[in-house]
Structure 1
Amino acid sequence: MDIKLLQPVKVVCTSDLSTTLTEILSTAEYTRPLIVTDAFVITMPLVTQVIAALRDAGTDVAVFDQVQSDPLASTISAGVDAFREHEADCIIAIGGGSSIDVARGINIVRVNGGNILDYTNPQQPMRTCPGLIAVPTTSGTGSELSNALIVTSDDQKLAVLADPAVSEYAVLCPELTLTLPQKQTIACGLDAFCHAAEGYLSVLASPVTDAICEKIMFLLAKYLPTAVHNGQDRYARERVQVASALAGWMLNNCGTIAGHSIAHVLGSKYHIVHGEAVGYALPAVMKFVAPVRLQKVREIGQIFGAEYPEQSTDEQIAEIACSTVQKFRDETLGLHPFSDYGISQDELLSNIDAVVHERFAGNTPRLIDVTAAREILLGFGTRS
């Protein structure tokens, strides 16, 4: 039976993170958490308050704060050592996607053994991995509800897809995102939007995932600009955080397509910010799939207010929709031009084969071959 909608994570929304985490630990009977985070997040006042409150409640807390962007397999191995040294019984991941990915990797290895790279093989057996409490401080990856983690090895971004290792709890606290800088807010928001848009266009999509992806895209179109330009607006931050979490859930059910393939290849090689990379890719990906997903491409444009004159050709509809998305990305949000990275077109095109063979390319509703990859890369980062 092809089940298209699963959601095993317990989701909690809160404005009182300390009390919520204390209650979760008590309910689940965990007493020795390992907090997995990075060197910046551990200094955030709200996070230091949480650690103090847990310790005041008698919880034996240890901290692993070695997470960095594009986390390495060796970081996960070091986290496993920290988990075992503390004799921990659960993990509280506080941070962006990298921290939650590292925490998920630690949880997989501490339960199943081996090295996290073993689990990039989808045939590798995996037992259920309880005890992951995910607390996102950004609104982009949706890692708190997704089944995926991305690990870097030998300058390659590799995916582990692990239904048995999803979070046990996801805790959404908008206060953690209020001080997220504008540039990160744009990149994270585009990442969440592209999770929904690519899932919507994926061969794995279903009518029920379509409905959720449409709502995610609506929420981000409506509230992400406010979060970008007025970061202290708690309501906008909350709407964006919820949309990001739901988009992470959709990753488990309808996946992503060629835009993420390109972002994984280029991100690991040139260190392009992931959310920016998928944002640069999306209009070209939409245009490429429009011949077989025209109605959906049209509706993505309509979410941003696109209008299609009567008697528009299919090509004109696709062009209008893609231009509307570009305008939202470049003008409404203010994503900086791809040219800032200083990467030539010839250099981009040197990655065609890697894009063709990236694992998520197969979810694209048209074949991603050399010609297709070249077409999309030629449109990568172009501005209207």
Structure 2
Amino acid sequence: MEVKMLQKVKVVCTDDLGGTLLEILNAEGYRRPLFVTDSFVATMPLVVAARRKLADDGIDCAVFDEVRPDPLCETVAAGVEAFRAHEADSIIAIGGGSSMDVARGVNIVRVNGGEIIDYTDPNVPIADCPGMIAVPTTSGTGSEVSNALVVTDGATQRKLAVLADPAVSEYAVLNPDLTIGLPPRMTIASGLDAFCHAAEGYLSRMASPITDAVCEKVMFLLYNYLPRAVRNGEDREARERVMVAATLAGWMLNNAGTIAGHSIAHVLGSKYHIVHGEAVGYALPGVMEFVAPVMPHKVREIGQILGAVYPENAPEEQTTVIAVRAFKEFRDRMLGLHPFEDYGIDRDELLANAQAVAYERFAGNTPRDIGPAEARQLLEAFGVR
């Protein structure tokens, strides 16, 4: 029997980060956690206070703060060494998607052995990997509940995905205070990542009526609260709603997957260092247009969630144009995503990546077959305003 909806992560929303972490560690019997994070997050006052609270209760914490954006396989290996050196029994991953990816990779390797690149082969078995507590400091990747991680092969600079249901977090701890003051550009990029998780999951071959309902709610929440969080980073209600939406969108990654927009972002992101959330935002209009001939009703629904109004009895071609325009209005005016041209990447250079996009792992979830010609079509629409 194929289960169409699964969520094993225990999710906690809290106003007291340190107290909640202490409660979880005591409940599970963990006494020697390794914090996996980056050098900035490690010094955040809320994080320092949480570690102090754990230490006051006799919890022996160590910190691995070498995470960088687009983390390398070598960073995972260094994290495994830190885990073993501390004789850790658990991991507290705190930060953005890169920290979650490294922590999940450390947890896989410390349980299963080998190197993280071994597990990019879906035929390599992965045993259950308990003991990971995920604390997001951004609202976008959904990695706190996702079964996926992405690492970069330092030798080839290729982004490689590992999908591992046995390695999802044991707990996800949501504290919106950690996102207060997140700069507008990061808020936009992370929020667009969450929106595109939901939109691409909605359009995926793997979608079901159950995932559709969650994806619709995620898009609704982000349309209504993400612009508020961008305008006023201190708006705690908006930050909380956006954080919950991002976590739900991460859940959808496990159940509905993503499609060609994420394939484009993975290929271009690793090669040109385009911010991931911006890349999927630049890609989504072309993806909507590409999928519309086989899923016009879903493309229309995305537009409706984004405030589009359709003329009575409008043909499908017209509703697609209006829906795509509604997303661009949300992306470019309401949120203020900067133009793709700011990256200074030649369009012909982009088009040279068509074959890599066509054969990227998640492209197969797209409800139309994608070869190099179709991938080129998607790249021609990438970032067009």
Same fold, judged at TM 0.5 (above)? yes
Question: How do residues 8-87 of structure 1 correspond to structure 2 at under 5 angstroms?
Answer: 8-87=8-87
SS state at 2:362 partner: helix
Q: Take 1:246 and 1:155, find their aligned partners in 2: how far apart are those partners?
A: 30
Task: Give 5+ residue unaligned stretches, structure 2.
Answer: none
CA deviation profile, 1:128-154 (whole Å, cap 9, x unmatched): 000000000000000000000000012
Q: What amino acid maps onto 1:162 in structure 2?
A: A
Q: What amino acid maps onto 2:10 in structure 1?
A: K
Partner of 2:96: 96
Question: How do residues 184-223 of structure 1 correspond to structure 2 at under 5 angstroms?
Answer: 184-223=186-225
SS state at 1:91 partner: strand
2:242 corresponds to 1:247 = no
2:323 corresponds to 1:332 = no
Q: Take 1:169 and 1:248, find their aligned partners in 2: how far apart are those partners?
A: 14
User: Out of 377, 380, 383, which is 2:382 matched to?
Assistant: 380
User: Out of 256, 273, 292, which is 2:294 matched to?
Assistant: 292
Partner of 2:370: 368
Indicate the RMSD between aligned Cα atoms, in angstroms. 0.5
Q: Take 1:170 and 1:311, find their aligned partners in 2: how far apart are those partners?
A: 45
Q: Take 1:311 and 1:175, find their aligned partners in 2: how far apart are those partners?
A: 46
Question: How do residues 173-192 of structure 1 correspond to structure 2 at under 5 angstroms?
Answer: 173-192=175-194
SS state at 1:38 partner: coil
Q: Deviation at 1:311?
A: 3.1
CA deviation profile, 1:202-229 (whole Å, cap 9, x unmatched): 0000000000000000000000000111
Q: Take 2:313 and 2:90, find their aligned partners in 1: how far apart are those partners?
A: 59
CA deviation profile, 1:27-76 (whole Å, cap 9, x unmatched): 00000000000011011111111111111111100000000000000000
Q: Take 1:311 and 1:57, find their aligned partners in 2: how far apart are those partners?
A: 65
Identity of aligned residues (%): 70
Q: Take 2:353 and 2:232, find their aligned partners in 1: how far apart are those partners?
A: 38
Question: How do residues 99-248 of structure 1 correspond to structure 2 at under 5 angstroms?
Answer: 99-153=99-153, 154-248=156-250
Moved over 4 A (4+): none
Task: Give 5+ residue unaligned stretches, structure 1.
Answer: none
Q: Take 1:46 and 1:295, find their aligned partners in 2: how far apart are those partners?
A: 45
SS state at 2:382 partner: coil
CA deviation profile, 1:294-346 (whole Å, cap 9, x unmatched): 00000000001101112322111111000100010000000000000001110
- Count of matched residue pairs: 383
Q: Take 2:2 and 2:53, find their aligned partners in 1: how far apart are those partners?
A: 44
SS state at 2:369 partner: coil
| TM-score, length of structure 1 as denominator length | 0.99
| TM-score, length of structure 2 as denominator length | 0.99
Q: Take 2:80 and 2:181, find their aligned partners in 1: how far apart are those partners?
A: 30
SS state at 1:316 partner: helix
Q: What amino acid maps onto 1:73 in structure 2?
A: C
